[in-house]
């Protein structure tokens, strides 16, 4: 990546700030009110004018982990800037009255899929469908096609989705892979649709740098059952898939190309543990862990926040990755506690446990990288009152680390380690949450 191109993109983003600064800050409604039967960003408060409407995003995100390890990875159906303020849309022209010289946003429909095959090889595809797509306002249905490139992406809500039930059919084809999968919730008692409940919606108003930016995450199905087929288009091999996964619906108005996140999720059916951690680089409202488990036959479901001194983490073993063009971590540890429990988890990202997702679609996507994580995550849950380990958990997990790409062509491990400390933020040390 050239220094000139990166600086030019950042200047474009910064130059747009006056457009937003003249408008009042707009807080989102509570997540429980914002949630719509269809795609959230096509209804409710998103129909009202906003100075940051061009940074509107929503995705339906699915992890897929075949039980025989034939495939592990993730699929995301994405809707960006649906009203076409900051990029070209179906009519080939930007609707923005600002007449930007380039598309900043990948406006329209997109699909992102990345993963690892059984032989250890990886792929990652991010494909846009700026025209020829349909997204529903009364269901989660999504359909996009590019006949010329022989690509398509279809998400069908086979039966009405809630925390307690429903079904999705995922279909698509990109340059490296084709898929046809049925996804249903497993462990329905661990999901939630209620605001601020563990695995329910959580909104943050402190993401990003522009007035009115906000983001909502709903980890509605922390564990799913996945059945179907995937085809490796490089080899022609069609694979039956049977395993588990995870589903998340996230939406808001947020220029995340200048921000970013880290998250990881694992479930262990044998030990009856669900564990899901998320942190957003600028936000403190959205640094949290949701976890559920059994203690002496009683189900415990917890939501723990870093800002309440219940959660800390450390990303470790940083090195520069040439393809990502950025420093990336190769290990992580997360520890959380309340008055009754202490929860520890760790995972290794070395070897083939991560893969960069890159896109040259627009000026902003070119400066951003999402590292797709595919680690085994393991941990323990201790009852602080008795000292007993009430659960040990381990399983194929998934997650991501995302950030702006570096302007430098190489960075030493020592400087990468120093740079990586920013993602632990300035949270004060807390007794019981120490990490070496």
Query: Cα 360 from chain centroid?
Result: 19
Residue ranges in the chain modelled with pLDDT below 50: 1-34, 90-98
Q: 93 Cβ partners below 8 Å, 6+ apart?
A: none
Rounded Cα gap, residues 172 and 258, in angstroms: 30
Strands 288-295 and 298-305: antiparallel
**pLDDT of res. 60:** 98
| Predicted confidence (pLDDT) per residue in 25-55, tens digit | 344 444 444 478 899 999 988 999 999 999 9
374, 414, 413, 417: which is closest to 396 by C-alpha? 374
Q: Are the beta carbons of 293 and 272 closer than 8 angstroms? A: yes
Rounded Cα gap, residues 76 and 129, in angstroms: 14
The stretches of 16-52 forming alpha helices (DSSP H) are: 17-21, 31-34
User: For residue 414, what are its two tokens?
Assistant: 């020592």
**pLDDT of res. 188:** 65
3-class DSSP state for residue 177? Answer: strand
| Predicted confidence (pLDDT) per residue in 120-158, tens digit | 999 999 999 987 899 999 999 999 999 999 999 999 999
Q: CA-CA distances (angstroms) from residue 293 to 48, 217, 273, 277? A: 41, 21, 5, 15
User: What are the structural domains of the chain?
Assistant: 3-422 (2.40.370.10)
C-alpha gyration radius of the chain: 21
Which sign, positive or negative, has the C-alpha torsion 24, 41, 148, 357?
A: positive
N- to C-terminal Cα separation, the chain: 35
Q: Are the beta carbons of 244 and 267 closer than 8 angstroms? A: yes
Which sign, positive or negative, has the C-alpha torsion 274, 285, 404, 366?
A: positive
**pLDDT of res. 66:** 98
């Amino acid at each position: 990546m050239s220094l000139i191109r990166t600086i030019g993109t950042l200047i474009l983003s910064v130059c747009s700030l006056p457009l937003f600064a003249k408008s009042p800050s707009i807080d989102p409604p509570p997540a429980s009110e914002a949630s719509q039967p269809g795609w959230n960003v096509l209804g409710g408060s998103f129909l009202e004018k906003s100075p940051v409407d061009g940074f509107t995003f929503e995705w339906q995100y699915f992890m897929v982990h075949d039980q025989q390890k034939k495939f592990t990875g993730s699929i995301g159906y994405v809707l960006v800037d649906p009203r076409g303020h900051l990029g070209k849309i179906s009519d080939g022209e930007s609707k923005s009255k600002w007449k930007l010289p380039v598309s900043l946003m990948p406006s329209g429909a997109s699909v992102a899929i990345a993963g690892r095959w059984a032989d250890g090889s990886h792929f990652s595809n991010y494909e846009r469908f700026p025209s020829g797509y349909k997204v529903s306002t009364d269901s989660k249905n999504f359909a996009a096609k590019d006949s010329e490139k022989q690509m398509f992406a279809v998400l069908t809500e086979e039966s009405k989705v809630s925390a307690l039930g429903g079904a999705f059919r995922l279909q698509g084809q990109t340059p490296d892979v084709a898929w046809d999968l049925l996804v249903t919730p497993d462990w329905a008692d661990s999901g939630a649709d209620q605001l601020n409940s563990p695995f329910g919606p959580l909104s943050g108003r402190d993401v990003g740098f522009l007035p009115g930016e906000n983001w909502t995450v709903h980890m509605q199905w922390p564990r799913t059952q996945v059945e179907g087929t995937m085809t490796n288009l490089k080899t022609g091999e069609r694979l039956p898939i049977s395993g588990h996964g995870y589903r998340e619906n996230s939406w808001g108005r947020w220029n995340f190309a200048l921000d970013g996140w880290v998250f990881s999720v694992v479930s262990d059916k044998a030990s009856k543990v669900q564990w899901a951690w998320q942190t957003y680089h600028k936000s403190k409202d959205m640094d949290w862990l949701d976890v559920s488990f059994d203690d002496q036959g009683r189900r415990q479901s917890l939501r723990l926040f870093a800002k309440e001194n219940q959660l800390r983490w450390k990303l470790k073993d940083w090195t520069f990755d040439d393809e990502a063009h950025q420093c990336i971590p190769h290990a992580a540890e997360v520890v959380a506690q309340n008055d009754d429990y202490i929860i520890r988890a760790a995972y290794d990202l070395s070897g083939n446990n991560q893969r960069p997702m890159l896109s040259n679609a627009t000026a902003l996507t070119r400066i951003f990288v999402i590292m797709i994580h595919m680690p085994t995550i393991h941990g323990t849950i201790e009852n602080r009152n008795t000292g007993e380990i009430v659960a040990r958990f381990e399983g194929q997990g998934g997650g991501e680390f995302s950030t702006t790409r570096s302007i430098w062509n190489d960075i030493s491990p020592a400087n990468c380690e120093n740079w990586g400390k920013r993602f632990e933020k300035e949270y004060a040390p807390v007794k019981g949450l120490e990490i070496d």
